[in-house]
Structure 1
Amino acid sequence: MTEEKAEAIKTMKSSGLTTMDTYNYMATEAGGEHYIGHSVERSKDPNFFFRVKFGKDGRISNIFWRDSMMLEDYRTYGDVLVFDTTYRTNRYNLICAPFVGINNHWHNCMFACAFIGDEKTDSFVWLLETFLKAMENKKPTSIFTEQDQAMANAIEQVSYPFNSIK
């Protein structure tokens, strides 16, 4: 993103425009959503995958992404998945939900990442279904999670393995 675009976004935000209004304005100015642009690195990654979910108020409620290297790591090391969330530790008051595994050198490797607005079953279902779609519908053999009933319900609903470990 250019400095000019970043400054325009800051100005619109300080003027009281919503994120969606700012996005729509930027898309109109650019001649369409596909002309808004991304960083050079992402535009060179044809397998970059992301999905956004908007709430009833038009604001982003959930966002998910993974790049091609994350997909490749998951194809190779995705038998075991660690899925945990942090509780609103960022300035946007969103919950970070990384999908992590371990490679053949016993190092962590990130398969995907998301920010979600709440820890309700519906959000976890959306997140797990999105993860499956992003990972070519390959399910892990085992999932390590925190002790969260909503997450356990979502895992069962999306038909992940029943040998999930809490």
Structure 2
Amino acid sequence: MKDINPNFFYAVNLDKECKFRSAVWVDTKCRMSYEYYEDVLSVDSTYSTNRHGLLSAWFVGVNHHGKSTLLGCALLGNEEIPSYEWVFSQWVKCMGNAPQRIITDQCRSIFRAIRNLLPDTRHRWCI
């Protein structure tokens, strides 16, 4: 994808043995959408794991028509704080800035990662 579109962003996190830990990817359209709809970012990682035991996380915004729009995706090997911190650090690296507000499920690891890595982002839990 990077060869086809230089604005495609991806990052892969490997452990010391070069085994997969997590990945983040954002295509050009998603990056452009984030510029317009960065006020509130919803991170949903409540989907079940896939057959490889990887958790999927979706970055979603709301456009000016009140419709959900996909802004990026991630796969995580676990739901621990360092995993979410790595994903959020890659998000900021890709987008150039942290979201103003973020809505997540009530996962303590996400809460701590946001507090540690995105101190100026207002965090709210989805009910």
In the superposition, the TM-score normalised over structure 2's length comes to 0.90
For structure 2, the 5+ residue unaligned runs are none
Q: Distance in 2 between matches of 1:133 and 1:84?
A: 20
Q: Distance in 1 between matches of 2:121 and 2:34?
A: 20
Matched, 1:108 2:92: no
Aligned-pair CA distance for 1:110? 1.1
In the superposition, the TM-score normalised over structure 1's length comes to 0.70
Aligned-pair CA distance for 1:162? 4.9
Return closer, same or farther for 1:161/1:60 CA change in 2, 3 Å cut-off: same
- Give the aligned length: 125
Greater fraction of residues in strand: 2
CA RMSD of aligned residues (A): 1.5
Corresponding residue for residue 22 of structure 1: none
Identity of aligned pairs, percent?
32
Corresponding residue for residue 53 of structure 2: 93
Corresponding residue for residue 13 of structure 2: 53
Q: Which has the higher contact order (CA 8 A, sep 6+)?
A: 2
Q: Distance in 2 between matches of 1:81 and 1:92?
A: 27
For structure 1, the 5+ residue unaligned runs are 1-37
Q: Distance in 2 between matches of 1:106 and 1:165?
A: 19
Greater fraction of residues in helix: 1
Matched, 1:142 2:105: no
Does structure 2 retain, via aligned residues, the 8 Å contact 1:84–1:145?
yes
Structure 1 segments, 4+ long, off by >3 Å, are none
Matched, 1:117 2:51: no
